Amino acid sequence: MSEQHQSGPVVVVGAGQAAVATAETLRKLSFEGDIHLVGAEPYLPYQRPPLSKAYLLGDLEADRLSLKPQAWYAQHRIGLHLGRAVRQIDHASKALVLADGARIGYRHLVLATGAAPRRLPPSVDGNLAGVHVVRGLDDIDRLRRELSPGKALLIVGGGYIGLEMAAVARKLGLRVTVVEAGPRVLGRVACKETAEHVVRLHQDKGVDFRFRAQLAALEGEGHVRAAVLASGERLAADCVVVGIGARPNADLAAAAGIAVDDGILVDGEGRTNVAGIWAAGDCARFVLPGAALRLESVGNACDSGAVVARSILGQGKPYQPQPWFWSDQYDLKLQIAGQSLPGDEVVVRRSDREGLSHWYFRKDRLVAVDALGSPQAYMTGKRALAQGRSPDRVRIADPSVPLRDLIG
């Protein structure tokens, strides 16, 4: 490694999975310069996926959410600046300006600012208490105080967050209604076969659904008590969870003249259009051959953080995303490898022994697999995608053909 690539400091804005992956990879690759993580939340960098599952249920304590113990950061000489928001990037003098006026100089700046949940417009939510989003630890702590048995929970949005919240709320004994503007759940991320299976599971557990339904207004005096749909139907709502997607936290970058378009635009190695500034994780939109891609997942955060670290050290290789996701719905683990699009052909594989899986093909090429309680199908599909192999569709659909034989 050249002396130029050994010099620092490297400053990372954000203290989540992508930030930690960047710092950890730098140290693994023997970077000796200073590293600083700057995060607006006052907590040690923590895992977000368990927040809406085990943590909300009370099965996981807050101290077990941490990605690394405090001592790890000291051992690896990584400075933590927690509970400190960034006001401005002064790239002319290569410094961050914090909300309190303090400045932190950098040689390389990595933006790992994540994404923020979309909220209802004020004309709909009425600025009422009891309306929640699900993103950070504080969000969940506020929400869990309201999830009492017998209460009516209204969930706006039938995506992964909304469905996970529905499963947790039913376990806690709440009455749950999901309002979805589209014709089905998981409309942008899964085929109708996966969506139908998941809806049946929730309906069997007592969840009520309203499809093609628009939320017109929430009602209450200070605290939400009811929801009115555009159809005129009125639903009880002692609390509301809004799960209508997220927007990348790119305002800080845009104000500094960094190119943004549904995320901070970066090349295949994570570079922005401003020298010395990089981006990784949920906020980064990688411009790759044939496509521009922004992913919101743990896998992408870890992988893209590592890509940026290697690029900073002059060891960069273009990012080749291998998307994978998971979602827990009651006792069902839904695991997804690859990325599907509407219009992909779907091959269904159903086996009493292996479980259920849906295999997506685009122009005879395997592009994704949904495994519903079928970890073997997930691993087989993920391996096939990594190897660029497309198993025969007739053999996939035949449960008498062992999964291990699909790709040899």
Q: For position 290, what pLDDT does the model report?
A: 80
* pLDDT at residue 8, as a whole number: 73
Q: Rounded distance, CA 301 to CA 293, Å?
A: 13
Q: How many residues does the chain have?
A: 408
Residue 324 tokens, joined: 């994978």
pLDDT bracket for residue 6 (50, 70, 90)? low
pLDDT (average), residues 36-64: 94
Strands 103-105 and 95-98: antiparallel
Q: Return the percentage of the chain with pLDDT > 90, whole number.
A: 90
- Average pLDDT score over residue span 265-279: 97
Averaged confidence pLDDT in the chain: 94
Name the residue type at position 299. G
User: With bands split at pLDDT 50, 70 and 90, how would you rate the model's confidence at 7?
Assistant: low
Residue range(s) of every CATH 3.50.50.60 domain in the chain? 3-116+247-312, 119-244
Over the stretch 83-133, which tens digit does the pLDDT of each residue have? 999 999 998 999 999 999 999 999 999 999 999 999 999 999 999 999 999
Say yes or no to pLDDT of 164 above 50.
Answer: yes
Region 347-352 average pLDDT: 94
User: CA torsion sign, 370 to 376 to 380 to 385?
Assistant: positive
Both tokens of 338, joined, read 């690859």
Handedness of CA 41, 47, 51, 54 (dihedral sign): negative
Rounded CA gap, 365 and 391, in Å? 9
Residue 69 pLDDT: 97
Position 353 scores a pLDDT of 87
**pTM for this prediction:** 0.93
Cβ-based neighbours of 10, under 8 Å, separated by 6 or more: 22, 23, 26, 31, 33, 34, 35, 36, 106, 107, 108, 109, 110, 312
Question: pLDDT tens for residues 365-378?
Answer: 999 999 999 999 99
Res. 2: pLDDT tops 70 = no
Q: State the average pLDDT over residues 278-287.
A: 97
pLDDT bin (cut points 50, 70, 90) of residue 289 is: confident
CATH 1.10.3720.10 fits 331-405, yes or no: no
- Fold classification of 3-116+247-312 (topology level): FAD/NAD(P)-binding domain (3.50.50)
Fold classified for 119-244 = FAD/NAD(P)-binding domain (3.50.50)
Name the amino acid, one letter, at 131.
V
pLDDT reading at 141 higher than 50: yes
